Each structure stands twice: as structure tokens, then as C-alpha cells.
């Protein structure tokens, strides 16, 4: 979804992550200096609305698209006149059995001309209607997506295994993993050579819209990543850039002029930090402070 519509909406973590990736790419190809990149990354992580994020990438030579926004809530005509309907409903289905429990609370705000309510113990206390709990049928186990720690070998390996299971291979245009948000953003070609789709991962894979892609886009193979070497790089990254209290903001896997590479970005609360560029086998190629 292009960033131009609904800019007034509040930004999500996934929106901030995609903008950070665009800033990383702009820094890598020389559009931003180190100070500009560090400043904009800090602002992106603190952005409140889509307008805030748009301002950070509007001058870049890149198209920055965000996943579809959730549907917005609109006030009804009854609400605009001071009447607020509240509908609370729950539904659980197993096989052909469906159970819906709903509670409707309508609270009317009166005017000075309305007759005074009768005095009573019941009317003198605010009435709160609590919806009845929705019973879960016997034998139903709630599905809870496991959290993935992208700073550990187990977490990265688990993500790679799930990726292979979902797509049938370990090929991607690029992948960005965010330890703080416990999620990842990835792009991979789909259908024709000039089409790709951005996916988000939070225990499962959610597809975005089909987007344009360079026909000669280079790809990476997640299977080629030495996970143990990558985890050692992550652990040693703060010392490597000389900022002991720096935390990993995100880890990028992508191709550049020198082939497939790992980018480890980190900073502290003062936006002091940098990034490490390394090979998939763990060899440090560049340290930027």
C-alpha cells in the first residue's frame, strides 16, 4: 500500500521497520551520510503517524510501500448526536457448531430539558454491562504463535525452517529481522521476474500486495547463512563498534556490489552506534561507526 493515502493514521511497528530498511538501503548506496542515517533511523523508530514516516523517505530514490492498513472506525449518525452504541460480540466455531454471544449497551446522553431520573439506589450507581464469557468447547486448544528471538541460533534456524516449509525453498530478495518487535520483513519474487511480494513474519507469514521488481534482481539463499557465526557477530557487535550499551535494532540479509551480505545495525538510547557488514560465513567486511 503506498504511503500517500491515510497519512494521518498511526504508524505500526511494521511500518517503522520498512522505513528503517529503506533508510538502510539509502545509506548503503550513498544517498545518506552516516549522521543523516543515524538521525533518521532514530526518528523512524519514534514515529507516531504515517506522515512522520513519509517525511523521512520522501527525498529518497526509492518507492516505500507499507502493508495494507487495518480498516478504520467511523462514527455513525447516532454517535454524532450523542448516542453511543457499543456492541460486544464473540464467536467460536468447531465443525458445524457456532456460538455467538453478544451484549449491546446503549448509553444516551440527555439534555437539560430531559426529565430528571427517578431517585433510587439502582439509578444512583453507574451501570456497567459486562459481556458474558464465551465458553470454549472441550478439546479446543487456542493457537498461540511462538515468539522468535532473531539473536539466537535457535530462533534464526527456526525462522529458516518455517520459511522453507512455507515457500518450499530458502530463496529471497532480502530479509530484515527485528529482535525488538519479534518479527521479520522479507521480499521474494513471485510469478514473473518483474514482480515480487513483501511478506511479514510474526510466528506465521502474512502476504502484502504484489509490487514491481527489477527483472535482474539478485537473490540470497538463507541456507547459505552460517547461523552460529552470525550469532557470534551479533553478540560481539557492541564491542566491535565501540558502543558497549548498544542494542541490535535489526539484522539485514541482502545482496550488494560485493555479493550476499549480513548487515547488523545497532544503537543505544543516545543514537550512538553504527553497523557491521559481514559475509554469510561470518567474515567482517566493514565496520561503520
C-alpha torsion angle, residues 56, 29, 178, 149 (rounded to 10): -170
| CB hemisphere CA count around 69 (13 angstroms) | 17
Distance CA 88, CA 101 (A): 8
pLDDT computed for residue 115 by the predictor: 45
What φ, ψ does residue 241 adopt, rounded to 5°? Answer: -95, -5
Distance CA 163, CA 221 (A): 11
Helices (H), the chain: 13-28, 34-45, 50-57, 77-80, 153-167, 227-241
Evaluated on CA atoms 112, 124, 118, 88, the torsion sign reads positive
pLDDT computed for residue 120 by the predictor: 41
E-strand ranges in the chain read 83-94, 97-108, 171-172, 174-178, 183-190, 192-201, 205-212, 220-221, 247-256, 259-267, 273-278, 284-288
Domain boundaries along the sequence of the chain: 1-66, 77-142, 145-289
Q: Give the residue among 191, 176, 258, 183 at the shortest CA–CA distance from 222.
A: 176
pLDDT computed for residue 94 by the predictor: 36
Per-residue pLDDT in tens (0 to 9) along the chain, 289 residues: 444 445 578 988 878 888 888 888 888 788 998 788 888 988 888 889 989 999 999 999 877 776 666 544 444 443 434 443 333 333 334 333 333 334 333 333 444 444 444 444 444 444 445 545 545 455 544 445 567 899 999 999 999 999 999 999 999 999 999 987 678 999 999 989 999 999 999 888 999 889 999 989 999 999 999 999 999 999 999 999 999 999 999 999 999 878 999 999 998 988 889 999 999 999 999 999 8
Q: Give the residue among 63, 31, 29 at the shortest CA–CA distance from 211.
A: 63
> What is the pTM assigned to this prediction?
0.61
Distance CA 159, CA 222 (A): 10
Amino acid at each position: 500500500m503506498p504511503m500517500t493515502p491515510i497519512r494521518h493514521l498511526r504508524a505500526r511497528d511494521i511500518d517503522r521497520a520498512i522505513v528503517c530498511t529503506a533508510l538502510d538501503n539509502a545509506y548503503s548506496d550513498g544517498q545518506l551520510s552516516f549522521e543523516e542515517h543515524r538521525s533518521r533511523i532514530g526518528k523512524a523508530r519514534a514515529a507516531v503517524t504515517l506522515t512522520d514516516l513519509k517525511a523521512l523517505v520522501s527525498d529518497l530514490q526509492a518507492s516505500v510501500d507499507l502493508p495494507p492498513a487495518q480498516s478504520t472506525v467511523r462514527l455513525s449518525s447516532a454517535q454524532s448526536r450523542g448516542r453511543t452504541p457499543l456492541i460486544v460480540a464473540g464467536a467460536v466455531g468447531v465443525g458445524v457448531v457456532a456460538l455467538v454471544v453478544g451484549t449491546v449497551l446503549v448509553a444516551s446522553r440527555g439534555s437539560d430539558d430531559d426529565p430528571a431520573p427517578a431517585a433510587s439506589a439502582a439509578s444512583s450507581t453507574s451501570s456497567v454491562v459486562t459481556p458474558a464469557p464465551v465458553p470454549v468447547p472441550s478439546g479446543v486448544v487456542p493457537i498461540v504463535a511462538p515468539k522468535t528471538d532473531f539473536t539466537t541460533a535457535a530462533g534464526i534456524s527456526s525462522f529458516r525452517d518455517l520459511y522453507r516449509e512455507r515457500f518450499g525453498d530458502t530463496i529471497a530478495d532480502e530479509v530484515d529481522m527485528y529482535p525488538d518487535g519479534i518479527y521479520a520483513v522479507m521480499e521474494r519474487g513471485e510469478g514473473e521476474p518483474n514482480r515480487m511480494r513483501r511478506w511479514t513474519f510474526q510466528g506465521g507469514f502474512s502476504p502484502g500486495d504484489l509490487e514491481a521488481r527489477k527483472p535482474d534482481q539478485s537473490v540470497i539463499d538463507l541456507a547459505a547463512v552460517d547461523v552460529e557465526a552470525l550469532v557470534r557477530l551479533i553478540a560481539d557487535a557492541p564491542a566491535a563498534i565501540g558502543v558497549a550499551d548498544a542494542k541490535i535494532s535489526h539484522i539485514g540479509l541482502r545482496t550488494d556490489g560485493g555479493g550476499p551480505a549480513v548487515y547488523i545495525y545497532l544503537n543505544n538510547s543516545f543514537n550512538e552506534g553504527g553497523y557491521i557488514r559481514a559475509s554469510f560465513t561470518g567474515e567482517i567486511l566493514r565496520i561503520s561507526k
